[in-house]
Amino acid sequence: MIQITALPAFNDNYIWLLQNPATRQCAVVDPGDAKPVQDWLSANPDWALSDILITHHHHDHVGGVEQLKKATGAKVYGPASENIPGRDVALKDNDRITALGQDFDVIAVPGHTLGHIAYYQPGRLFCGDTLFAAGCGRLFEGTPKQMYTSLSRLAALPEATQVYCTHEYTLSNLRFAAAVEPHNPDTLERLSNVTRQREAGVITLPSTIALEKRTNPFLRTSVTSVKEKADERTGNDNSAPDMVFAVLRAWKDTF
């Protein structure tokens, strides 16, 4: 059994710490900063960091890699097509890795960056800046169509899959979701829950694929009212879901 802990970093990043209590080995996903990880290791001296999983090349995801690798000798996994500091294993779509005695499948999810990958095992998904709770990453490198396809692949995972994304953006994402779907009761209920959680300083992750399908507008581009909202914005007929996605993404960029 793997236990998962969120180590907060910077303003709104989470570094996911995966722990195997049987072996006292642990792994981290996207350590943008080494310090929160090294502080945890210092406080838990009988644990060893064995693996570092990277989703994409942005500094807030890789900034701590070299220092952690130097201090612990951990093995670094990352996307083959991006420049990842200290990378030992270069990954592409459909690769499988074993870390902490667990298998993880690699899913290519271009859009936020072109080489972005996610790590999946039955029950959990580590998706970096691709699928957020109630939102999705900005399109820094990819096209709307690429991101739409990537999100569709993630949405097709089992509904109970827990979604571990890298940022605490849930509240602002839900405010946007409520603007897109002012009459979606699931969205409004989640907005009020998350508002309370954030007032109490509580983490809003992980999410689930089921909850995202009910409340994340970027996964709901086939819903008639969402399409009509996009049409209202652009004044034309956005006849395909990836066109609706592009409108929503551009709208969110300035929301």
Residue whose CB is nearest to Zn ion in the complex, by number? 58
Could you tell me the smallest distance in angstroms from the CB atom of residue 54 to Zn ion?
11
- In whole angstroms, what is the distance from residue 169 CA to residue 216 CA? 12
Q: Which does 181 bind (CB under 5 to 8 A by kind): Zn ion, Fe ion, none?
A: none
Could you tell me the smallest distance in angstroms from the CB atom of residue 68 to Zn ion?
19
Residues that bind Zn ion (CB under 5 A): 58, 129
Residues known to be catalytic: 56, 58, 60-61, 112, 129, 167
Q: Which does 57 bind (CB under 5 to 8 A by kind): Zn ion, Fe ion, none?
A: none
Q: Which does 30 bind (CB under 5 to 8 A by kind): Fe ion, Zn ion, none?
A: none
Q: Which does 82 bind (CB under 5 to 8 A by kind): Fe ion, Zn ion, none?
A: none
Residues that bind Fe ion (CB under 5 A): 60, 129
β-pair type (75-79, 89-91) = parallel
Dump the DSSP string for 51-119: EEE-----HHHHTTHHHHHHHH--EEEEETTS--TT-SEEE-TT-EEEETTEEEEEEE--SSSTT-EEE
Helices and strands per DSSP (H, E), number in the chain: 9, 14
Could you tell me the smallest distance in angstroms from the CB atom of residue 250 to Zn ion?
18
Could you tell me the smallest distance in angstroms from the CB atom of residue 112 to Zn ion?
6
- CB-based contacts of 255, cutoff 8 Å, min separation 6: 175, 176, 179
Closer to Zn ion at the Cβ: 129 or 181? 129
In 3D, which of 252, 212, 247, 249 has the Cα closest to residue 227?
247
Closer to Fe ion at the Cβ: 117 or 247? 117
Q: Which does 51 bind (CB under 5 to 8 A by kind): Zn ion, Fe ion, none?
A: none
Six token digits for residue 14: 């989470």
β-pair type (102-108, 96-99) = antiparallel
Closer to Fe ion at the Cβ: 129 or 212? 129
Closer to Zn ion at the Cβ: 7 or 48? 7
Could you tell me the smallest distance in angstroms from the CB atom of residue 113 to Zn ion?
7
In 3D, which of 105, 107, 42 has the Cα closest to residue 72?
42
Closer to Fe ion at the Cβ: 112 or 227? 112
Say if residues 150 and 137 touch (Cβ distance below 8 Å). Answer: no
